[in-house]
Amino acid sequence: MNAADRQPEQRINTPNYSASGFVKVLAPGTVANLVCGFDVLGMCLNEPNDLMEVKLLQEKKIIIHSADGYPLPSDPAQNTAGAPLIEMINELDTPTGFEVTIHKRIKPGSGIGSSAASAAGAVVAANHLLGNIFPNKDLVRFAMFGEKVASGVKHADNVAPCIYGGITLIRSIHPLDIISIPSPDLFVTIVHPQIEVRTKDARQILRKEVLLKDAIRQWGNIAGLVAGFMQADLDLIGRSLEDVIIEPVRSILIPGFDEVKTKCKETGALGGGISGSGPSIFMLSREEATAIKVQTVMQDIYNRIGIDYHTYVTTINKTGVKILQA
């Protein structure tokens, strides 16, 4: 942890335990990057969600269970929910631990923030059981340790929107600077073609250097996208959803990508692209009816190609991880 990321008031952390000592949360999927905002933008979804049950322990210990037979690492230090909780309990003044049961509904490797949901869900639930002593920014700081376990990189563009809800900008990681970007209500269609794209691989194929002229186009687009969200200018959002740097490289790993993008936009989607590092693809629409038509377009393409898939039609989740039962 970078010392500069810590605030003085965080140094004494005495829990104010919840009475029941048990909580269930829904931890939502997220779309990182949002096309032109590689590594800095993310958006929270209302579907799909992991369901997590977290129990308070009166000893310094983290226990992880997988409820669905997914081969999640049971060693907490290697688990995306466990690693953030280890960081969290290390900052507490009292011996405290958590027992976590994960109902994994967001498939790992889908590109819609499966590891982030585990990490964010765990820390929001745990913080609830501690009497919400940590502010959201600290929860993001803890949850990033889960991303490090999952992908080797402590990125925040999934965990921040998962915790804050809505659309978030990670202006800076050191020091951590998270800005909530207001947005209009939009419909989101997602297709997850069931092929494996590992975040590590998707990161390794990127070039370390980019053309200045491409970088300029990219920062024109992210500035346009932020302005479009904040002014609820849907046409501007659509025009700004363009990525001249990452998408041309990563989309090669996703069969059918170009056709999905072209046909979904012809069908009325504002725009979209790779969700996170893929293979999922997301599209934004102003109307639910369009979002449903877009789903049919996606289904037709992957039926024809012969790749299994899941699709979702959902909306932007404005509140993040949801406490179900306290």
Q: Which residues are catalytic, by number? A: 147, 199
Range in contact with its own copies (rule: CB under 8 A) among 22-30, 122-130, 231-239, 307-315 = 231-239
- Site for its own copies contains 25 (CB under 8 A): no
- Site for its own copies contains 206 (CB under 8 A): yes
- Site for its own copies contains 224 (CB under 8 A): yes
Helix (H) / strand (E) containing 56: strand 41-57
Nearest distance, CB of residue 246 and its own copies, angstroms: 9
Nearest distance, CB of residue 37 and its own copies, angstroms: 7
The rounded distance, in Å, linking the Cα atoms of 61 and 39 is: 32
Nearest to 163 by CA among 114, 131, 122: 122
Between the two ends of the chain, the Cα-to-Cα distance in Å is 31
Let me know if 259 is exposed, middle or buried by CB neighbors in 10 A (0-12, 13-18, 19+).
middle
- Site for its own copies contains 2 (CB under 8 A): no
- Site for its own copies contains 218 (CB under 8 A): yes
Q: How far is CA 237 from CA 30, 43, 241, 324, in A?
A: 18, 14, 6, 33
Count of positions on this chain that bind its own copies (CB under 8 A)? 40
Nearest to 33 by CA among 157, 120, 152: 157
Q: Binder to its own copies among 124, 190, 245, 269 (CB under 8 A)?
A: 245
Q: Give the three-state DSSP class for 191.
A: strand
Residues 41/30, Cβ–Cβ less than 8 Å: no
**What radius of gyration do the chain's Cα atoms show?**
19
Q: Binder to its own copies among 102, 169, 297, 316 (CB under 8 A)?
A: 169
- Site for its own copies contains 1 (CB under 8 A): no
Nearest distance, CB of residue 111 and its own copies, angstroms: 19
Q: Binder to its own copies among 133, 230, 234, 307 (CB under 8 A)?
A: 230
Range in contact with its own copies (rule: CB under 8 A) among 15-23, 143-151, 170-178, 282-290 = 170-178
The rounded distance, in Å, linking the Cα atoms of 261 and 268 is: 11
Helix (H) / strand (E) containing 156: none
- Site for its own copies contains 179 (CB under 8 A): yes
Applying CB under 8 A, the residues found at the interface with its own copies are 36-41, 169-172, 177, 179, 181, 206-213, 215-227, 230-231, 236, 239-240, 245
